[in-house]
């Protein structure tokens, strides 16, 4: 980062941070204490309506969505032609590519437009009705065209707990504490919150038997945060850790659905394949790093005996954030009985062994080119006590209790009809709560496959 850029960001950070606390908005629903989308948040998403089915960029404010394309076209926010062009696209990729100066400029314009003292939209009922829409009346879409998706593995407790299942002799692999580990995932099957997930078929090997092709009997979720890349880098030109922040656009909630029985058989030596490539769900609103700045913490955590980190992964601002993540479950029966989802776990993003800046730097260090709209999974966010464990596999280990649901059933792994709901928020004394909304999906039964029916009948989808 240049000295000029550093100075610019420092000044901007000071300008944004201090007065922002006192900012209030004329959008009444955003003034509610419980609102996840106060004026301090302003997350970006892509939406459409029945009347206008063209996907377009919007910002969440209270219970509403502000149509950003229309705001720019109506001249309500003053932006240059490059930003105007980017805001008229059906995805956020072009806006992400413009970098921090453009992101700060639009955020500044939005803070001014929505400020309680600004009358330009507040007092124009016709315009307001057209530009400010109820979130319940719109359909959300993937916020970006995701070129590549990479799933990291950066939580020490998750790595250790899962390692005990897949590699009991060596649960925490030696490289874990030296580099942010990852595998390249599948971008085509990333879906928006609310999309149903069909139980996948896959090859499974029961103990002492030959492999069989059956619907997974060990369907699981993984509670992660997704990281959207803003500006990319040229191939062969790695991103230095000091510059990482300028390339990071924002965060969403991410559910890395996983089929544990398929994973166990296929994973060695190359990593997950069919066990994870069938679906990944994300929440629709991207919370920017500007919004998360007050919740940035010193990190990442280290314990006595941890090795020194190589210098290319050290430096710049800590990109660790105090974000609470929660997982809720609701069975089909609970839905029928009108019962609320029950909380299964709660953990925090700041617990990860590696920060999102270290993930970004590691991803590009060999010369890999990242592109605007690329997506990272943070890795399952977990902990040691059962109530902090971010996937059911970790709830199934020795010493854990089976999760008891209010409808009287117990959960080992996910059953058909189960709905997984993930929520996340940042909260701090004296500051407003910044929410991420939610990421939800219902498990549908595996599709019938005539050629597999006989085999499935013999093997069943029972857990083993
Ligand atoms: Ca994962």
Q: For 134-154, how does the pLDDT look when each residue is reduced to its tens digit (9 = 90+)?
A: 999 999 999 999 999 999 999
Gap from CA of 225 to ligand 1 centroid (Å): 10
Gap from CA of 78 to ligand 1 centroid (Å): 40
Beta-sheet pairing, 280-282 with 190-192: parallel
Gap from CA of 61 to ligand 1 centroid (Å): 30
Gap from CA of 29 to ligand 1 centroid (Å): 35
Domains of the chain: 3-141 (2.30.30.230), 149-460 (3.90.850.10)
How far, in Å, CA of 120 to CA of 142, rounded?
30
The dihedral region occupied by 327, where left means phi > 0, alpha psi between -120 and 50, and beta the remainder, is beta
Residues 29-58: pLDDT tens digits? 999 989 999 999 999 999 999 999 999 999
In sequence order, which ranges of 154-259 are alpha helices (DSSP H)?
A: 156-166, 244-247
Nearest to 181 by CA among 172, 190, 189: 172
How far, in Å, CA of 378 to CA of 59, rounded?
24
Question: What mean pLDDT value characterizes the chain?
Answer: 92
- Given this model, what pLDDT does residue 163 score? 83
Gap from CA of 381 to ligand 1 centroid (Å): 9
To the query of whether residue 158 is one of the catalytic residues in this protein, the response is yes
Beta-sheet pairing, 375-377 with 149-153: parallel
Residues 377-418: pLDDT tens digits? 999 999 989 999 999 999 988 888 889 999 999 999 999 999
How far, in Å, CA of 95 to CA of 139, rounded?
21
The DSSP call for residue 367 is S
Q: Which of 158, 247, 363, 395 is catalytic?
A: 158
Gap from CA of 238 to ligand 1 centroid (Å): 24
Considering the chain, what percentage of its residues have pLDDT values greater than 90?
84
Gap from CA of 104 to ligand 1 centroid (Å): 31
């Amino acid at each position: 980062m240049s000295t000029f850029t550093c100075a610019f960001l420092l000044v901007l950070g000071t300008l944004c941070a201090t007065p922002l606390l006192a900012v209030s908005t004329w959008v009444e629903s955003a003034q509610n204490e419980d609102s996840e989308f106060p004026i301090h948040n302003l997350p970006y998403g892509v939406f459409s309506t029945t009347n206008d089915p063209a996907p377009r960029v919007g910002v969440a404010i209270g219970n509403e969505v502000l149509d950003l394309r229309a705001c720019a076209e109506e001249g309500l926010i003053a932006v240059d032609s490059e930003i105007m062009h980017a805001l008229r696209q059906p995805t956020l990729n072009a806006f992400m590519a413009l970098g921090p100066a453009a992101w700060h400029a639009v955020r500044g314009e939005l803070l001014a437009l929505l400020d309680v003292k600004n009358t330009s939209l507040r007092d124009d009922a016709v315009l307001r009705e057209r530009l400010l829409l109820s979130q319940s009346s719109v359909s959300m879409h993937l916020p970006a065209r995701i070129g590549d998706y990479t799933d990291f593995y950066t939580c020490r407790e998750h790595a250790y707990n899962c390692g005990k299942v897949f590699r009991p002799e060596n649960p925490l692999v030696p490289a874990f504490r030296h580099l942010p580990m990852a595998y390249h995932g599948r971008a085509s099957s990333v879906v928006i919150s609310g999309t149903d997930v069909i139980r996948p078929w896959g090859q499974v090997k029961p103990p002492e038997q030959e492999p069989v092709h059956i619907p997974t009997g060990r369907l699981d979720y993984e509670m992660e945060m997704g990281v959207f890349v803003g500006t990319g880098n040229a191939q062969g030109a790695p991103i230095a850790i000091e510059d990482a922040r300028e390339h990071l656009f924002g965060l969403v909630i991410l559910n890395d659905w996983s089929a544990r029985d398929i994973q166990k058989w296929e994973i060695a030596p190359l990593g997950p394949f069919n066990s994870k490539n069938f679906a990944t769900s994300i929440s629709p609103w991207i919370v920017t790093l500007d919004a998360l700045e007050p919740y940035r913490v010193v990190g990442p955590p280290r314990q006595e005996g941890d090795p020194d980190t190589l210098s290319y992964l050290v430096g710049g601002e800590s990109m660790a954030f105090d974000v609470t993540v929660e997982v809720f479950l609701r069975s089909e029966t609970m839905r029928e009985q009108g019962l609320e989802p029950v909380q299964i776990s709660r953990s925090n993003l700041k617990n990860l062994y590696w920060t999102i800046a270290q993930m970004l730097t590691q991803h590009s260090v060999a010369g890999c080119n990242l592109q605007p709209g690329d997506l990272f999974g943070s890795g399952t966010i977990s902990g040691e006590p059962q109530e902090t464990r971010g996937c059911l596999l970790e709830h199934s280990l020795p010493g854990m209790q089976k999760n008891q649901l209010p409808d009287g059933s117990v959960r080992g792994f996910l059953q058909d009809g189960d709905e997984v709901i993930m929520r996340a928020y940042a909260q701090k004394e004296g500051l407003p709560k910044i929410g991420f909304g939610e990421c939800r999906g219902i498990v549908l039964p595996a599709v019938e496959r005539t050629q597999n029916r006989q085999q499935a009948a013999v093997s069943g989808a029972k857990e083993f």
